[in-house]
Structure 1
């Protein structure tokens, strides 16, 4: 776990914007940072790079310079932002569809994690066989199999990261 400093300004904004008591504000922010998602970065007024983290469950955005939490904002609920344009039935349907997508993505992620673990197991078994082998021909054959499995492993890992990003995108709007 990375250690973050909390500035006085961040504590003040937590009290003001999130309604957390001052004595609990620092601990609250540190807890949020443990499960917050990195969204991106921006330049602040001084030209320094500020990292942006979103805690989706609590709908909180945190801005971090180096390892110091600088300020905190409540995130607007995207479906409520369009409250004048969409009827409540439509919002409910959108939320249901988004939640169904999140469940499907989580199932796919679990299946990919199992496949990744199985590939790791196959690679480890082949590496063990390679260590025991004495013939150069057998070692070369095992190396080919390992390289094929590692490329498959890389493809599965990239699919897993795509699903994770997709889930973050959908979760941000529910």
Structure 2
């Protein structure tokens, strides 16, 4: 869990724009940052770039410089990433017809189903690899000869590296599923 500092300006804006009491504003913003989604970078009037995070469920946008929450806005509509819309032009995401939104939901659902099938397959492979490692460790415990123990240790090392590789793939798929779900929820 990453710790964020909240500036006085951010507390003032949270009180003003979000209607939160001053005493709770800092902890509320820190809590929102734990599940906020990174949207993009934004340059301020001094030329410094800050990261923009959206908390979709609470419809809140936060501007973060390093680990400091600088300011906060209330999101009235679904917002596109900062770089996607030039200032002053209408937001193209909000102007999508319902048919296109339906297609986006359907396609993202199909992608998520495909990823979940692959994740299920990887989960089975992980369980089988765990079983293989357990069997090898049992054989190692029963073995008495040093040569046999060395061979079994080598097999265990290979099996554990294969397990780590499969687990890395599974973790990547889980994070991809989450990002797709959050992205679709933000704009559709």
8 A contact 1:123–1:146 mirrored in 2: no
Distance 1:49 1:140, change over 3 A: same
8 A contact 1:130–1:142 mirrored in 2: no
Q: Deviations over 1:70-104 (max 9, x none)?
A: 0012233259x6799567xx38x9479739956x8
**Larger of the two Rg values belongs to structure:** 2
8 A contact 1:119–1:153 mirrored in 2: no
Partners in 2 of 1:146 and 1:122 — Cα distance? 11
CA RMSD of aligned residues (A): 4.1
Mark the runs of 5 or more structure 2 residues left unpaired by the alignment.
81-90
8 A contact 2:123–2:170 mirrored in 1: no
Mark the runs of 5 or more structure 1 residues left unpaired by the alignment.
none
Match of 1:118 among 115, 127, 138: 127
8 A contact 1:36–1:56 mirrored in 2: yes
Q: Deviations over 1:28-77 (max 9, x none)?
A: 21221232233344444445442322211011111122322100122332
8 A contact 1:7–1:69 mirrored in 2: yes
Q: TM-score normalised to the size of structure 1? A: 0.67
